[in-house]
């Protein structure tokens, strides 16, 4: 369904600006976008993309770097123009300038039409950990112990010691500025965070709950994540 919504946005506006996430959750969506490209003529030739985040200190071609993840999962398998894909540079010497340039590029293309998100078991969106301010913008953040553990469970890093302690991330306000938000949640491990985000108060202790009140925000969850 997420891929269908993205495809619809691109067919409605071939120069669509799409925000993307990494992690386990969106991989099937990217597989379906590749299929739509190969079998149903969906073209990404005019599409611009912005990714949520990147580990600080990892070169883009590092095995766990998010630039490489996107190249392998999606970009190299579709007809997107490389210069239209924007992933924060984890090796930037001047991280402040890198974050400001990211915000500037989003503004320069008129904002994000649809931003695809995942959700952390602690309620984080992008690398906005609990406590992130609702008005936060792209910046350097410290990763929580929970996120370091989640990302070294063997899916990505093998050992917590290998996981960078900091990352560059789009802020809550950066994400909220997207005209449409589609958040994906799969598996029972996301159930508590999802419930809190949807049914709890809008609070910085659950960053995904700060999406409440957005005019066009859709949460797509499987049965395990929703608990129904």
Mark whether 53 is an active-site residue. Answer: yes
If the CB atoms of residues 46 and 62 are measured against ligand F6R, the closer one turns out to be 62
Q: 227 and 191 in contact (C-beta within 8 Å)?
A: yes
Q: 212 and 202 in contact (C-beta within 8 Å)?
A: yes
Burial class (CB in 10 A: 0-12, 13-18, 19+), 212: middle
In the complex, the smallest distance separating the C-beta of residue 4 from ligand F6R, rounded to whole angstroms, is: 19
If the CB atoms of residues 23 and 171 are measured against ligand F6R, the closer one turns out to be 23
Choosing from 53, 54, 103, 113, the catalytic residue is 53
Residues forming the site for ligand F6R (CB under 6 A): 21-25, 52-53, 118-120, 124-127
Mark whether 76 is an active-site residue. Answer: no
In the complex, the smallest distance separating the C-beta of residue 20 from ligand F6R, rounded to whole angstroms, is: 8
If the CB atoms of residues 24 and 205 are measured against ligand F6R, the closer one turns out to be 24
Mark whether 151 is an active-site residue. Answer: no
CA–CA distance, 96 with 74 (Å, rounded to integer): 28
Nearest to 67, CA basis, from 103, 20, 113: 20
Residues noted as catalytic: 53, 122, 124, 129
């Amino acid at each position: 369904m997420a891929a269908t919504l993205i495809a619809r946005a691109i067919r409605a506006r071939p120069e669509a600006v799409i925000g993307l996430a990494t992690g386990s959750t969106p991989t099937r969506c990217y597989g379906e976008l590749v299929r739509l490209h190969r079998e149903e003529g969906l073209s990404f030739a005019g599409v611009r993309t912005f990714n949520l985040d990147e580990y600080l200190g990892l070169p883009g071609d590092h095995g766990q770097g998010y630039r490489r993840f996107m190249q392998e999962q999606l970009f190299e398998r579709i007809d997107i123009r490389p210069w239209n894909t924007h992933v924060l540079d984890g090796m930037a010497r001047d991280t402040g300038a890198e974050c400001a340039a990211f915000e500037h590029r989003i503004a320069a293309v008129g904002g994000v039409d649809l931003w695809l998100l995942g959700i952390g078991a602690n309620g984080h969106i992008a690398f906005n950990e609990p406590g992130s301010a609702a008005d936060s913008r792209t910046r350097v953040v410290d990763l929580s112990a929970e996120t370091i553990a989640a990302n070294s469970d063997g899916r990505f890093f093998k050992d917590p010691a290998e996981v960078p302690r900091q990352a560059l991330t789009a802020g809550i306000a950066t994400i909220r500025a997207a005209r449409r938000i589609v958040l994906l949640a799969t598996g029972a491990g996301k159930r508590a965070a999802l419930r809190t985000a949807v049914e709890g108060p809008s609070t910085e202790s659950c960053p995904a709950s700060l999406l409440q009140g957005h005019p066009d925000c859709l949460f797509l969850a499987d049965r395990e994540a929703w608990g129904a």
